[in-house]
Structure 1
């Protein structure tokens, strides 16, 4: 589709990627085009059609991934995954699933007639179309609020300003019907409802689908995951470092080279492996000089990494609550605690 090609072209210019111009094209202009264009397609609902997406269409991870697999195995619904990655689309289709490339006419057609749409982050997981009034949009979200739920201020202001002017309905409370959460306390519920500006009745208190894998006890299954991440058999224990997302999108690792060398030597002596899982939206750094310290791909499934690990190191990430289900050690590495308290 022409607007998809325009977007990809603009996205390729790194120098403008974090400018207001890029944000306006990405969030507002593209939404105007797609939303109005989608109205040319029928919105007659297919009661058996479910569409899912995740992480801005960039990865096959999170709650919607595991819900997607569960529904394919245990339901008679037609289940479709939407992604901006043609590689992922082709991979899922080869595996017997149904997947569509985001920027296609067929994707708009299925979104217009879907009975249910499941997201992890918002409309950017699929497309900002004009959903049918009978479509039920469920935001599965991706964590429990330890720190403030931040929405980029510039992006939020832009959505409010231009969204109202063009009646785009891009704010969460304007298009989601339900929010999935694991929070059971009144305070956490209030935090979530305030953050998303939704009434309590729209909050669904259930478990996260992504956590089912943490109860996996099949040794062959666990071994396949270790092999997929190329974990040597001689490795006795795996430590996984999973920091939270930070607004500057920088993966800060406040250890000197000498610290890292000492850590690497200790890990080598113990036959331990230290895996680092940066946030999907953060810029990567290089750890290639250390044999026992490895940076895994940003789009790796953190739930799989949690399953095969023996110790979790994190900070303010709600991955803490996921890992508690394993009843294994958790270390908190909060090197910027003061900054987070003052400014986050």
Structure 2
């Protein structure tokens, strides 16, 4: 019954959206200079969208923005009308993730929907690529097929994005990822490090461990993490003198983790050793002060390569995860640091700080070769023919 009601609600929303959009299509032509920046996972513009938005300043474009903090927030009537208006009249529609209304909209002649995907590289299967691994009632966003252009971080992975969005590979270009430009900007790096150390003085004189795993579960509402695999007390006892430990949970898992309560996730009583910065939406600034990254199947491995610091893959559930969600290439192709399965192994790998230089260079050429510090410029020249 719940599924039927959800489908009915979606149908009603689609019909209303098409009706309101038709009004704007009949009243207005497509504005050749209008760029609509859309995100429903932020309360303000950020990431690749913000970089492109800033690049266009003073260049004669009408820049319109819609942001919503998270998908669970309800869209107001005013938002609904504004979205319909901008999607109906903008020449360029720029996204960073899935946006449901793209599935409903009619793409007018001359309009271009451009996907500036939030993650670099190609790790976990997404979009239509998930059909190769996952079974059951898997719903894939039909709006993917409407994309006119999509960007990647390397030429060798263009086919992954073409498959995920079910579009011709000619619509995918290795421009590099705009938000990685900061890793080549020495002035920005120096300024941001100073800001972060001033904001978090407990970082001074310590090495910063950033713990940034992806979520488990095929659906956002089921997102979780196995806290049996991280003993907070033991990690503190082993590393507390030399390090600080920062949590950056995936947005899909963060709220669910908090709902589990302090029985499994209590950071109090460890003398400022632990900190949770999950509500900081963008992770790249945190990477600038990170000395050791701990992750697993998260796309943060691609951005972090440009920091040139040690990484540890804590993949206690590798076989299960690979069989369920699926990854594009063999796991070994993604590794440029220590791989561990136990907490004892994790603690030792943090202390070892193995850089694996040869694997880093192979990884860079395969997944990040287009990121050169000028990705924002490359993207804008392609999309806007500048």
| Paired position in structure 1 for 2:177 | 208
Deviation at 1:255, TM superposition (A): 4.0
Superposed counterparts of 1:178-327, under 5 Å: 178-185=149-156, 188-218=157-187, 219-228=190-199, 230-232=200-202, 234-246=204-216, 247-248=218-219, 249-255=222-228, 259-270=231-242, 272-282=243-253, 283-285=256-258, 286-289=265-268, 290=270, 291-298=272-279, 300-327=281-308
Alignment of 1:91-102 (within 5 A): none
| Deviation for aligned residue 1:261 | 0.8
Structure 2-normalised TM-score? 0.67
SS of the residue corresponding to residue 240 of structure 2 reads helix
Q: Does residue 148 of structure 1 match 2:107? A: no
TM-score (norm 1): 0.75
Q: Note if contact 1:23-1:155 (Cα within 8 Å) is conserved in structure 2.
A: no
| Distance in 1 between residues matched to 2:240 and 2:212, nearest whole Å | 21
2:109: which partner in 1?
133
Among 45, 60, 85, which residue is 1:76 paired with?
60
State which of 38, 53, 64 in structure 1 corresponds to 2:49.
Answer: 64
Q: Which has the higher contact order (CA 8 A, sep 6+)?
A: 2
Q: Deviations over 1:229-275 (max 9, x none)?
A: x3535352211122124325423144467x211212344311x2211
Partners of 2:125 and 2:32 lie apart in 1 by 37
Give the whole-Å Cα distance in 1 for the aligned partners of 2:202 and 2:317: 33
- Counterpart of 2:92 in structure 1 is 116
Q: Is the 8 A contact 2:192 2:285 kept in 1?
A: no
Deviation by residue 1:47-88 (Cα, 9 ceiling, x = unmatched): 22111122545664432232223333x6331222201249xx
- SS, match of residue 224 in structure 2: coil
Is the 8 Å Cα contact of residues 116 and 151 (structure 2) preserved in structure 1?
Answer: yes
Kept after mapping to 2: 8 A contact 1:48/1:115: yes
1:34/1:127 contact within 8 Å kept: no
Instruction: Return 5+ residue gaps in structure 1 as ranges.
Output: 1-15, 87-99, 160-169
Distance in 1 separating the partners of 2:281 and 2:273: 18
Q: Distance in 1 between matches of 2:56 and 2:152?
A: 19
Give the match's secondary structure for 1:297.
coil
Worse-superposed segment, 21-30 or 192-201:
21-30
Equivalent position to 2:17, from 34, 52, 68: 34
Q: CA deviation at 1:124?
A: 3.2
Aligned residues: 296
Superposition CA RMSD, Å: 3.1
